[in-house]
Chains A and B, each alone.
Chain A
Amino acid sequence: AQSVTQLDSQVPVFEEAPVELRCNYSSSVSVYLFWYVQYPNQGLQLLLKYLSGSTLVESINGFEAEFNKSQTSFHLRKPSVHISDTAEYFCAVGTWAGANNLFFGTGTRLTVIP
């Protein structure tokens, strides 16, 4: 079975500071990974994804995540956060075999402090 662990339920950070949101997964088969973001009072939106190839993937708003197979991690980073980044972030894993659905972590609430 697959599972996703997001150890940090809440991460407060000052504006313009760097941030890392941690995601670890467990799977016996090859995976692909997503980060979703949920802004206040909005639905979940895809932030970025790793399917194959380069292990470093980026979003259009400055976030990046690196797939590390040996550490089974897909941590999300941003070098300088903005107030508008305040949201809940969910890591999700899918598998190339077996279940068709994505498995989601419990989410990390990022609060950017002015």
Chain B
Amino acid sequence: GAGVSQSPSNKVTEKGKDVELRCDPISGHTALYWYRQRLGQGLEFLIYFQGNSAPDKSGLPSDRFSAERTGESVSTLTIQRTQQEDSAVYLCASSSLGGRDLYGYTFGSGTRLTVV
């Protein structure tokens, strides 16, 4: 597609429920990133996919968070047993080069998750 697409744009869920967030990267972009932006805070790195390599999961805050990506296509971020502190905007970005992203990322518009 023309840009990075994320769905849903907004999600309200009850504490304890599981949620799944989706990211459609730009076609041909080998690298895909998930970031989290809590209110009043900077972007927090969660996970990085590069082609068929093992993902860099070093930013995932707990084992309730997981993400998958099939090849160089869609990625899903799953949060199990959601907690109120999971409320944030979840941003997906893709890049054509991966690794040292010298041309920057293309970001999606994000999914605003609210846990009540």
Contact = CB atoms under 8 A, between A and B. Distances in A.
Interface of A: 4, 6, 9, 32, 34, 36, 42-46, 49, 51, 90, 92, 94, 96, 99-107
Given A42-B109, A46-B104, A100 B42 contact: no
Given A43-B4, A100-B56, A105 B42 contact: yes
Given A102-B101, A106-B40, A45 B107 contact: yes
Interface string B83-116: 0000000010100001111111101111000000
Given A43-B4, A90-B42, A104-B35, A96 B100 contact: yes
Contact of B48 (A45, A49, A100, A106): A100
Main SS class of interface, B: loop
Contacts of A102: 45, 101, 105
A104 B108 contact: no
Interface of B: 3-4, 33, 35, 40-43, 45, 48, 50, 56, 58-59, 91, 93, 98-105, 107-110
Given A42-B109, A43-B110, A104 B43 contact: yes
A43 B107 contact: yes
Given A43-B109, A43-B110, A44-B91, A103 B104 contact: no
Contacts of B48: 100-101
19 contacts: A4-B42, A34-B104, A36-B104, A42-B109, A43-B91, A51-B102, A96-B100, A100-B48, A100-B50, A100-B56, A100-B98, A100-B101, A101-B33, A101-B56, A102-B101, A102-B105, A104-B35, A104-B42, A106-B40
A45 B107 CA distance: 7
Nearest to A35: B104
B100 A94 contact: yes
Contacts of A43: 3-4, 91, 107-110
A63 B40 CA distance: 24
